[in-house]
Amino acid sequence: MVPPAHADIRFVVRAEDNGTRLDKILAHNAPEISRARLQALVKAGACQAARNATTDTIKDPAWRVKPDDEIVLRVPPPQETRVTGQAMPLDILHEDAHLIVLNKPAGLVVHPAPGNRDKTLVNALIAHCGDTLSGIGGEKRPGIVHRLDKDTSGVMVAAKTDAAHLSLSEQFAAHGRDGRMRRSYQALVWGTPLPGVGKVEAAIARAPNNRKKMAVSKHESARHAVTHYQARESFIGGQVSHVACHLETGRTHQIRVHMAHIGHPVLGDGVYGAGMKSRTRHLDDAATAALTALERQALHAQLLGFEHPATGEAMTFEASLPDDLARLLTALENTR
């Protein structure tokens, strides 16, 4: 049974662990707490070690333990979040004691932030999950381990325990390289990507002239980013394409930035596809009306697969295109 996140961690160092770093042995004895959180607690003076009848406070995560050291790490209870719960309808695809999977609608912000202080997914999860929320990081809050942009719809997962939060965070950090996680998106983009199946590998950083935008960059702060795409079908003589995208990394606005970088921005994207407004002249009245009604980027997180943190079971969840995107796709299909 996993101990609660605020229970003190107590153990005696075994002979075979002689010379092990303090943070490493703490992580072994408290797998439900992230190593970063353990290191922060040690640096804050929360760890004591008794050796040869002398007890000292250890503040160095790299301190080496010796056999028979008695280690005590005092883990404070989670701080109550200042975000209040707000009952909101949620499209729940799966829920158990460890996690919740839902289909996020377009227009819903994930985290409270300036300009969106309430009515976010976090507010909704606090109201729905109550005291079962993850306390990882020292704050009692829903275990958000990844995000979707406000105007991107689709499948999301949130953790309800510290152990689930840690496992899911590790899976997202691995970006599917270990075979546990899969993420697929559906998008409608301007033009037809050539080749029809390809990979965009271009690092992403904050745009230097607009901190709210991301951009392909060679700056030292840029983070490695890879998006795989496959063009499914084209419409209006190749003016618009339906594309499937698979993430190898998960950077902010990654698909939107990468598709714009190769000259095929997502339809309705006012941030990265603003220069494509003239292309709407190629659409017929029905498609133009559907695109105008969309009022967002034509991007949907269709599939999310991961390993269940508690059972190890491979789980896959899908969300069909929402009505606004389905109407736009139908209108484009009728132009053929």
Q: Is the pLDDT of residue 36 over 80?
A: no
Give the position of tokens 């969106």: 116
What global pTM score does this model have? 0.78
Which residue, 311, 332, 312, 313, is CA-closest to 321? 332
Which pLDDT does position 111 carry in this prediction?
81
Over range 218-237, report the average pLDDT.
94
Residues of the chain with CATH 3.30.2350.10: 79-174, 184-304+316-333
Tens of pLDDT along 277-293? 899 999 999 999 999 99
Specify the pLDDT at position 135: 56
Query: What percentage of residues in the chain have a pLDDT greater than 70?
Result: 92
Query: Which range has the top average pLDDT, 111-115, 118-122, 139-143?
Result: 118-122
Residue 176 clears pLDDT 80, i.e. is over it: no
Minimum mean pLDDT among 102-106, 210-214, 294-298: which range? 210-214
Question: What average pLDDT does the chain have?
Answer: 89
| C-alpha dist (Å) from residue 28 to 11, 91, 268, 310 | 11, 37, 48, 17
Q: Residues of CATH 3.10.290.10 domain(s) within the chain?
A: 9-73
- The residues that are catalytic are 149
DSSP per-residue string spanning 170-188 = HHHHHTTTTSS-EEEEEEE
Residue with tokens 């951009």: 215
Residue 144: band (very low, low, confident or very high) from pLDDT cuts 50, 70, 90: confident
What average pLDDT does this structure show over 140-149?
A: 80
Query: Domain 79-174 is in which class?
Result: alpha beta
Q: Cα dist. 256→23, 46, 63, 171 in Å?
A: 39, 43, 44, 23
Cα 95 to Cα 93: distance, rounded to the nearest angstrom: 7
State the architecture of 184-304+316-333 in CATH terms: 2-Layer Sandwich (3.30)
What is the DSSP secondary-structure string of 279-316? GGGGS-HHHHHHHHHH-S-SEEEEEEEEE-TTT--EEE
CA–CA separation, 53 and 327 (whole Å): 73
Q: Which superfamily, per CATH, for 9-73?
A: RNA-binding S4 domain (3.10.290.10)
Q: Which of 85-99, 175-189, 247-261 has the lowest mean pLDDT?
A: 175-189
220: number of Cβ within 10 Å: 7
Quick one: pLDDT band at residue 1, thresholds 50, 70, 90? very low
pLDDT of residue 109: 92
